Amino acid sequence: MRIKQLAWIPWAIAVLTIAAPAGVAQANVAQPPERMAFEFFDEAGQPVAPESLQLAGCREQTCQAPVVLFQKGVCKAPGCLTPPVKVPLLSCDVNICRVEAFEFLYPYYELILVLPASETGEAARLGVFQGRPIDAGAVRGLRVMLTPTGLEISEDDELAARIPGGSSGYCSPTPPIATIGFAVTQVTELAVTLLLLLLFGIRSRLIGGVLAAVGLINFATFPVVWFTFPALGPGPTTQVQALAVFTLLAALLYAGLLVRLQPAFHPARRNMVAGLLAVGLPLATVLIFGAATVASAAVEAIAAGSAMAAGAGLPYTVTMPASEVFAYSAEALLIFMLCRPVLSARQAVLLSVLANSASLTLGLILL
């Protein structure tokens, strides 16, 4: 195939990207982290830069057994917690500190602050605030006021808006971001696939089979990109880690079923797989989340939860590219295995690269 024949493909991808409706969430991009931002002031309203800071998760408002999730500096003052293992760091700029995680799932959080070195000797100041859902990619802003006895922590939407890419972070009544992202992934990748198949000169009676294969493959790769790789990030809870493992296992089982049945070019098998999806996906969702919850409770019951929840993780700048490498390679392999009667290995790789690049570009632009 001559390069000249492919010159129009980037323009077609650009048109697909620009034509996407405004406000759509990211497509085949790993789920963005949730973020919290803290801004510190003294009682006179003057900015205060923490010497050291800890953020811990609590199961109850009294924080009887807090788990250190993030830390800045070395917290040695009375009232500081001892992390069971190395924890990820808070990112601080003067009096504003930020953290990010795949999900913030604790019902309560405790903030532990030590003032600059000039005021050492006094105990750390503590404050407890309630957890709440945050949209993926959004920021929860919190204003922290130092008092003689502790910390007063309150919501601060204005701070959330000042953080690049930030918003108030309350979960909206719109469809879940993963659902929207999956829909955009399917539409974008199927459109690019159709354009490429026409360019390859594939016979019209075979195009439907390739499109079906690509659509079915996305059910295997998308959940791994969204739920498994982000769990490698900082501060995941045991439930998030368990969900990531069960999602990966379910995706591998499903991909193996696709390769075994090769339904793309067998209408009867295609109908069978569609029926299995209609019945199996809701059931698998319930089973995966249920198993993750049970696994999380079991881990915490044997006192391993604190260490796992506090484990240091990889930054989003690492997990996101890693998830895309997985998506490109896994989809190329599965497209080749399911469409061998129609596509060569080179065509399968090209299709995967261009389709995933289109959905990735769409996600990064609209993120």
Residues 72-83 pLDDT 10s: 888 888 889 987
Residue where a domain stops, chosen among 162, 189, 210: 162
pLDDT of amino acid 1: 44
Name residues whose C-beta falls within 8 Å of residue 128's C-beta, 6 or more positions apart in sequence: 58, 61, 63, 108, 109, 110, 111, 153
Higher pLDDT, 30 or 302: 30
Q: Per the domain annotation, does 256 fall within a domain? A: yes
Q: Per the domain annotation, does 167 fall within a domain? A: no
Q: What are the backbone angles phi and psi of residue 129, rounded to the nearest 5°?
A: -135, 155
Q: Per the domain annotation, does 169 fall within a domain? A: no
Q: The domain containing residue 294 runs over which residues?
A: 3-30+174-366
What CATH code is carried by the domain that includes residue 77? 2.60.40.1120
- Asked if residue 227 and residue 190 are part of one domain, the reply reads yes
- Asked if residue 196 and residue 329 are part of one domain, the reply reads yes
Task: Answer whether residue 53 shows pLDDT above 90.
Answer: yes
- Asked if residue 351 and residue 297 are part of one domain, the reply reads yes
Q: Per the domain annotation, does 168 fall within a domain? A: no
- Asked if residue 192 and residue 92 are part of one domain, the reply reads no
Q: What is the rounded average pLDDT of the residues 45-62? A: 91
Residue 139 DSSP SS3: strand
Q: How many structural domains does the chain have? A: 2
- Asked if residue 16 and residue 62 are part of one domain, the reply reads no
Q: Which of 27, 360, 355, 352 is nearest to 191 (CA)?
A: 355
User: Using one digit for the tens of pLDDT, what is the confidence trace for 269-297?
Assistant: 777 777 777 777 777 777 776 776 676 66
pLDDT of amino acid 164: 74
Q: Is the separation of the CB atoms in 181 and 27 below 8 Å? A: yes
pLDDT band at 363 (very low <50, low <70, confident <90, very high): low
Q: What is the rounded average pLDDT of the residues 325-336? A: 94
pLDDT of amino acid 39: 95
Higher pLDDT, 178 or 300: 178
For residue 121, the 8-state DSSP code is T
pLDDT of amino acid 306: 41
- Asked if residue 7 and residue 45 are part of one domain, the reply reads no
pLDDT of amino acid 165: 61
Q: Per the domain annotation, does 362 fall within a domain? A: yes
- Asked if residue 315 and residue 362 are part of one domain, the reply reads yes
Task: Answer whether residue 30 shows pLDDT above 80.
Answer: no
